[in-house]
Structure 1
Amino acid sequence: MGWKYVLISLVVFSAFACQQKETESDETATKDYIRPIPGQDEPVDPEILDKGEVLISYNACYDCHKKDGRFKGPAYRDIAKRYPRKQVYIDLLAQKIIAGGTGSWGNPIMPPHPKLTQEEAIAMASYILSLK
């Protein structure tokens, strides 16, 4: 009967130790995944944010992105956590929306959206960065 107690204790301890390590690595992975850029948010016109939300809804962006939680691409809230809402980052993201890209969030490839205007892509990026 003693060996059963030792075996059960070992199994329980191993399961707990693995679970603890998995939690720690998940937290580290999340921090590495987002890699926030320091900076203060700038105000954005609410009309631009409304336009950006509508454009995202009508351009199949939700096929690859969600507001919360990774899907094929990063979650919008994770993008907002990474980039401060500053015009330079809004312009950068707008360009990525139009031209497509890869590497910023791992292996997913975002296809280009050449039919969008710069103004539309700026509205979309502004909306995304407002989701903090």
Structure 2
Amino acid sequence: MQAFRAAVEADDLDAVEALLAEDVVFTSPVVFKPYRGKAITAAILRAVARVFEDFRYERAIGDPDGRDHALLFSARVGDREIGGCDFLHLDADGRIDELTVMVRPLSGAQALQAAMSAQFENIAREAREAGAASDG
């Protein structure tokens, strides 16, 4: 999905959030249970942007007009190089309703898990604030 890729590459996290469906399901490479909802997914993606260094998409796979897309990326967390893939599924309105991330190697996934764990309080706070703002 070109709009998602462009927003991520521009570090425009508001635009990324605008592409998410309200009921998006985010499946993390380092947590067993999926996260459900736009507020928590957007907060996680903001934390990922703080954690990843030298992030770049390498290529896209999929039909540009289809509903399933794969974006292969590389990044660094501390001294660990990571290769990964964002798998996106679009709903009937063109919003992302499923986002699954895979990363490798194991040492990179472990570095990512440790870095994201350090972000947990910020993620929870941002998700609460976003949820409260959408309720009011």
Q: One fold, TM greater than 0.5? A: no
Structure showing greater Rg: 1
**Relative contact order, CA 8 A, sep 6+: which one is greater?**
1
TM-score, structure 2 normalization: 0.28
TM-score, structure 1 normalization: 0.28
Write 1 or 2 for the structure with the bigger share of helix.
Answer: 1
Write 1 or 2 for the structure with the bigger share of strand.
Answer: 2
